[in-house]
A and B are shown apart, each in its own frame.
Chain A
Amino acid sequence: MKNHISSTRIGEVLSVLDEMRQAGIVDKYAIGGAFAAILHNEPISTIDLDIFFFFKEKQSSRVLSLDPIYEFAKGHGFSFDHEFINIHGWLVQFVEASHSKLWAEAIENALSLSIDSRDAFVIDKEHLVAMWLFAGRAKDYQKIAMFVDANILDNERLTKILERHDLLVKWETEKWRFTNE
């Protein structure tokens, strides 16, 4: 392995997220996706860091634009390629969450973790499972199976979330993919 950089630099990425909040671009945010799965469970391979967020200012256009994020990135010398912004060597993907009740609730209920002496907001395990169930791709079901196998879910809490977001039927239909039932 060549050109290894010595630190993961994740703390610097969290600082950039804080800067975005202080600059009034991003309101609340939470880490989701496979990166959140790693923090709750065990390391798995993923290339990106998914950030679910709300804009500070509601956009008037009917079509959501991530321009404020890209302008911030440009201004700070971060390159980007389609959906990814390269922040200190991490491919960060920003996902605006206000159009989805489930995603919005996941951000509102995010946990605060200390990483590299900085606060990081991370979507909780049960909301992650509901989001993966909703997305329903093979890789999403794999992550649900990992959480079920690790026995780390609060089943009562999960059931309430699934009920609130009309996902209980889907859970019952699909659970053969990620449980032994």
Chain B
Amino acid sequence: MSSESQIAELTKRKNISRSYLRSLSPEAKIVQLFNLQEQYYEMLTVREAKGGRPVPAKWKKWHAARHPE
């Protein structure tokens, strides 16, 4: 497969995925956001644990709100 056709295939897949996400109900989109937040926070904590930048303060606030002790 040439690189041009690979790019075309990836673009097609991306568009299918995005149009699926756009077609979701508001509730389903909010569930997706909910999961995205969890995944993003997890990524931030892993980055910090590996010596990278610390988890931003606003994300710490988010975590404290979402996961009260």
Residues of A within 8 A of B (CB): 1-5, 8, 10, 35, 38-39, 41-48, 79, 81, 84, 86, 89-91, 113-116, 120, 150, 152
CA distance A4 to B63 in the complex (A): 11
Residues of B within 8 A of A (CB): 18, 21-22, 26-27, 29-34, 36-40, 42, 58-59, 61-62, 64-68
- Which one of B27, B40, B65 lies within 8 Å of A45 (CB-CB)? B40
22 A-B pairs whose Cβ atoms sit less than 8 Å apart in the complex: A1-B39, A3-B67, A8-B31, A10-B30, A38-B29, A38-B32, A38-B33, A39-B26, A42-B21, A44-B33, A45-B33, A45-B36, A46-B33, A47-B58, A47-B59, A47-B61, A79-B65, A84-B61, A89-B66, A115-B26, A115-B30, A120-B26
What B residues does A113 contact at CB under 8 A?
A: 26
